[in-house]
Amino acid sequence: MAESAQFTEGDYYQACFDSKAYMKNFYSRPEGHSEEEGYLTFVLGCLSRTFSTGQYKGQRLIDVGSGPTIHTVISACEHFDELVLSDFVDRNREEIKKWIKNEEGCFDWKPLIDYVCEMDGRSSSDVEAKLRQRVKQVLKCDVLSENPFHPESVEPADCVITSLCLEAASKDLQTYRNALRRVAKLLRPGGALVMLGVLGETFYCIDKIRFSCLQLSKADVEDVLRNLDFTVQEFKIFPAQDQDNNRVSDFEAIFYLVALKSTKTS
């Protein structure tokens, strides 16, 4: 199995991340990858329940580290006028843009959109059209940079989503803390942070290419959020269902959380 001798950082992703294989392997169906059974349905269900309340809404939502995917904003798109998606890898951003323009050969997100819309009680064709209309920017994003969107500058958002990004980009806990601090700056005071991530994971694979992951605990994540003055509204954990037979990753659990940024302006 191909793997890097050290933590896989940005250059490795730019060279080795296969966007099409990633989508095909992990997002072709609502059940997700056969060796990570239940992961994707858990994530989509959590996002549906969070945004169907109508509690989290506003002008702008930023998705930090979208990869080549749009699944994290399917439930949210009804509640925000402007969606900003982002990723470090050039090919990932191109895949999103191809889907927005409905170009030939773009990935088929319809199975996931249909699944989410059935939960949300909405028309999938309406949601698909709304998603394409409301994604206003697809930006280069580097969470290790003080301004992740340099040279662009984005106004603070009402909601920020980040999924499977920070632990993949951070080689140690201090780097993770700094990355989450930068993500927090993208939120307005009182705004909502929605985070999806993995606990106890050290690697994941796309076909036979192996990528590193920072091994996190629930306490690690809670501690970072507390120090950034977030108030956690919910923190859900979905344990790995068949860890011994999972060859594509070694996560112990998936977490999903919603936290509110302090209203202090300092």
| Residues of the binding site for S-adenosyl-L-methionine | 22, 27, 65-66, 87, 92, 142-143
Residues with Cβ within 8 Å of 192's Cβ and at least 6 positions away in sequence, in order, are: 56, 158, 159, 160, 233, 258, 259, 260, 261
Distance CA 265, CA 97 (A): 35
Distance CA 168, CA 119 (A): 30
Residue 73 buriedness (CB in 10 A; 0-12 / 13-18 / 19+) = buried
Residues with Cβ within 8 Å of 247's Cβ and at least 6 positions away in sequence, in order, are: 35, 205
Give me 211's structure tokens: 């990528």
Tell me how far CA of residue 41 lies from CA of 23, 115, 258, in angstroms.
Answer: 15, 9, 18
Query: Which residues are registered as beta bridge partners of 231?
Result: 260
Distance CA 26, CA 23 (A): 5
| Residues of the binding site | 22, 27, 65-66, 87, 92, 142-143
